[in-house]
Amino acid sequence: DTAVSQTPKYLVTQMGNDKSIKCEQNLGHDTMYWYKQDSKKFLKIMFSYNNKELIINETVPNRFSPKSPDKAHLNLHINSLELGDSAVYFCASSQDGGLRGAKGNTIYFGEGSWLTVV
């Protein structure tokens, strides 16, 4: 079974459209993330949720709206898509670190969603 699964894997859409990418993890983790990989392969965090609560929001345009219906799901909705949104979007999850912190906890990534805006 895939631990972190995201759909769709490939998405080609026109500028101005609204699209969603879905993510589910079956690892029982409390924390989920969205990372963006640009055309130069640089990876950067976008959002982090812990038990459905937003923890990290890295100055992402508000056209991007994450939604976490439960702790196993974190979907990414993007409004009014722009050419610059073309990238690979990775969903990920990790276990809550509790009092000792989550610094050393492994983050497990999905296979990525390749978004192309034309």
Partner 1 sequence: AQSVTQLDSHVSVSEGTPVLLRCNYSSSYSPSLFWYVQHPNKGLQLLLKYTSAATLVKGINGFEAEFKKSETSFHLTKPSAHMSDAAEYFCVVSMNYGGATNKLIFGTGTLLAVQP
7 close to 74: Cβ distance less than 8 angstroms: no
From candidates 8, 12, 15, 44, binder to partner 1 by CB under 8 A: 44
- What's the min distance (Å) between Cβ of 63 and partner 1? 22
From candidates 13, 86, 112, 116, binder to partner 1 by CB under 8 A: 112
Q: Is 34 in the site for partner 1 (CB under 8 A)?
A: no
- What's the min distance (Å) between Cβ of 116 and partner 1? 13
From candidates 28, 42, 69, 70, binder to partner 1 by CB under 8 A: 42
Distance of CA 21 to the CA centre of its chain: 8
From candidates 31, 71, 74, 76, binder to partner 1 by CB under 8 A: 31
71 close to 94: Cβ distance less than 8 angstroms: no
Angle (nearest 5°) at CA 23 between 21 and 26: 170
Which of 47, 98, 91 lies closest to 72, judged by CA?
91
Residue 57: strand, helix, or coil: strand
- What's the min distance (Å) between Cβ of 66 and partner 1? 13
Give dist(CA 66, CA 48) in Å, integer. 9
Q: Is 69 in the site for partner 1 (CB under 8 A)?
A: no
Binding interface with partner 1 (CB under 8 A): 30-31, 33, 35, 40-45, 48, 50-51, 55-56, 90, 94, 96-112, 114
